[in-house]
Amino acid sequence: MRTRIIATALALALSAGASATALAETVKVGVIGPFSGPFALQGKNFKAGIDAWFATHGNKVGNDTIEVIYRDVPQPDPAQSKSAAQELVVKEKVQYLAGFYFTPDAMAVTPILKQANVPMVVMNAATSAIVTKSPLVVRTSFTTWQTSTPMAKVAYDQGIRKVISVVSDYGPGVDAENAFKTAFTALGGQVVETVRMPLSTNDFSPIMQRVKDSGAQAVFAFLPSGPTTLGFVKAFNENGLKSGGIKLLAPGDLTQESDLPALGDAALGMLTTFHYSVAHDSPENKAFVEAARKAIGNPVELSFPAVAAYDGMYVITKMIAATGGKPDAQKAVDAVKGLAWVSPRGPVSIDAESRHITENIYLREVAKAADGTYYNKEIATFEKQDDPGLKAAP
Ligand code: PHB
C-alpha cells in the first residue's frame, strides 16, 4: 500500500516536472534599428530602453525567457530592413519583430508579418499609416500628427498668424506638415509657404534664406532626430533668424536631450511639443531614467527612443503571457488591445482599434538647471491624445 502511494506520488511529480520543462520556451525578439553610422545614438537608445526593462523586470515571463537579437540598419533602407526581418524570422525563428527607427524600414516589413505569424512592435517610426498596413502592428512611440497638432494651438496662442513649414520630404515630415497646417488653418492662422527638403539635406543656409524671404513670423519644422536636427537648429540660430525675432516651432524631435549640450544657450526658451521629456517628474520616470542611464553609460545620451523601447518590452511581455510563449501573432496582438498602464512618460493605452498608443503630449521649453545641464521643461499638458492622422488619412 505504502509503496503504491509513493510510486503514484513519484509519477505525479515526474509528470509535473516534465510538463513544466516542456512549457518553458525561449522567446526571441528581433530588434531592427540604426546601431552604427550617423544615427547610432538613436539605436543605442532602443537598446538602453530594452536593457532598462530587463534590469527592472527581469527577462522571464512565467517560465519563458526573452532573448533579444539586434540587427543594424544604419540609414532608412527598406530593402535592407526587409532582408534583416526575413533573416530574423527564418533563421533565428524570432516570434516578435520590434524597433524600427525610420518609417521606410517599418513599411518594408509590414507585408511579411502575416505569413511569418509575427507581430511588429514599432518603437519609433512615426508616420500615421504604418499601423494601417497590417493588423499585426502595434506602436508604442508617437506619430508626427500627434506631436505636431498641439503646436498649432501653441503658435496661435502666442499671437503668431503667419508660419512657413519646413519638413523632411518623407512620411513623418509630410504628416507633420499636414498636421500643423490643418490645425493652424482651422484656428485662423496661415501657412504662407511649405518646403519639403530631401532627407539627405545638410546645408540649411538656403532654407534659412527662404524662411527670411517668406515674411513668416515663425517656422514650423520637422526632421528625424539625429545629426540633421542638430544641424538645422544650429543653422536657424547662426543665420540670424532667432536674433531677427523669427520663432522656431517644432515637435520635440528637434530638441532631443542628447543634442542640448551641443546647442547650448542658443536653444534656451525654444518651445516644442512631444510625448516624452527625460525630465518628466514622476516616480515611474525616475526609476526608468536611473536604469536607462546606467544602461546607456553616458547620462546625457538618454533620449526619447528609449522610452518607447521600454514600453514596447512591456507590451511584448503581455503578448508572451497571453500566448504562453507560443507563436500566435493575432492572439498576441489581440491581448494588448485596450491595454492601459502608467509609462515613464505618463498614462498611456493601446487604442483597441488602431493599435497605436494614446498618450499625453507636453509643451516643453528648453531650460538650464542649476548645475548647468539643459533639459526640456514641461510647461503644459495636452491630455490623452490619440492619433489625429488616422482620422485624416484618406
Ligand atoms: C520616422 O522615420 O518615422 C522618424 C524618425 C525619427 C524621428 C521621427 C520619425 O525623430
* Distance (Å) from CA 59 to ligand 1 centroid: 28
Distance 298 CA to ligand 1 centre (A): 23
DSSP 205-249: HHHHHHHHHHT-SEEEEE--SSHHHHHHHHHHHHTTTTTTT-EEE
Q: What is the pLDDT of residues 19-65, one digit of tens each?
A: 444 479 999 999 999 999 999 999 999 999 999 999 999 999 999 99
To test the pocket of ligand 1, the residue of 102, 143, 168, 230 to mutate (highest count of ligand atoms within 8 Å of its CB) is: 102
127 lines ligand 1 (CB under 6 A): yes
Pocket lining: 277 vs ligand 1, CB cutoff 6 Å: no
Q: Is the pLDDT of residue 302 over 70?
A: yes
The CATH code that applies to domain 26-142+281-355 is 3.40.50.2300
Please choose from 32, 81, 124, 257 the residue to mutate so as to test ligand 1's pocket, defined by most ligand atoms within 8 A of CB: 124
Give distance in angstroms: CA of 305 to centre of ligand 1: 10
C-alpha distances (whole Å) from 107 to each of 68, 76, 128, 215, 257 are: 21, 11, 11, 37, 27
Q: Is ligand 1 within 6 A of the CB of residue 81?
A: no
Strand 340-343 vs strand 271-274: parallel, antiparallel, or unpaired?
unpaired
Atom of ligand 1 at shortest range from CA of 127? 3
Compute the distance between CA of residue 250 and CA of residue 238 in angstroms, rounded to an integer.
18
Rounded mean pLDDT, 272-278: 98
* pLDDT at residue number 243: 87
121 close to ligand 1 (CB < 6 Angstrom) = no
Note the pLDDT tens digit of each residue in 125-183. Answer: 999 999 999 999 999 999 999 999 999 999 999 999 999 999 999 999 999 999 999 99
Domain residue spans of the chain = 26-142+281-355, 145-274+362-387
Residue pair 145/389 in contact by the 8 Å Cβ criterion: yes
- pLDDT, mean of residues 301-328: 98
Query: Which ligand 1 atom is the nearest neighbour of the CA of 229?
Result: 10
Closest Cα partner for 32 from 79, 66, 170?
79
Atom of ligand 1 nearest to the CA of 225: 10
The tens digit of pLDDT for each residue in 188-203 reads 999 999 999 999 999 9
CATH of domain 145-274+362-387: 3.40.50.2300
43 Cβ closer than 6 Å to some ligand 1 atom = no
Fold identical between 26-142+281-355 and 145-274+362-387?
yes
- Please write the tens of the pLDDT for every residue from 56-74: 999 999 999 999 999 999 9
Q: Minimal CA–CA distance to 68: which of 42, 98, 89?
A: 98
**pLDDT tens string 202-253:** 999 999 999 999 999 999 999 999 999 999 999 999 999 988 999 999 999 9
Does the CB atom of residue 225 touch ligand 1 within 6 A? yes
Is the confidence at residue 10, as pLDDT, over 50? no
Using the mean position of ligand 1's atoms as its centre, give its distance from the Cα of residue 9 in Å: 59
Would the CB of 167 count as within 6 Å of ligand 1? no
Locus of grid cell 516643453: 364
Instruction: Give the integer Cα–Cα distance in Å for 175 and 76.
Output: 17
Name the closest-CA residue to atom 8, ligand 1: 224
Instruction: Please tell me whether the overall predicted TM-score, pTM, comes out greater than 0.85 for this model.
Output: yes
219 lines ligand 1 (CB under 6 A): no
Q: Which of 32, 225, 274, 276 to mutate to test the pocket of ligand 1 (most atoms within 8 A of CB)?
A: 225
What backbone phi and psi angles, to 5 degrees, belong to 389?
Answer: -65, -30
Contact 44, 292 (CB under 8 A): no
**Digit-coded pLDDT (tens) for 77-93:** 999 999 999 999 999 99
User: Mean pLDDT, to the nearest integer, of 282-288?
Assistant: 98
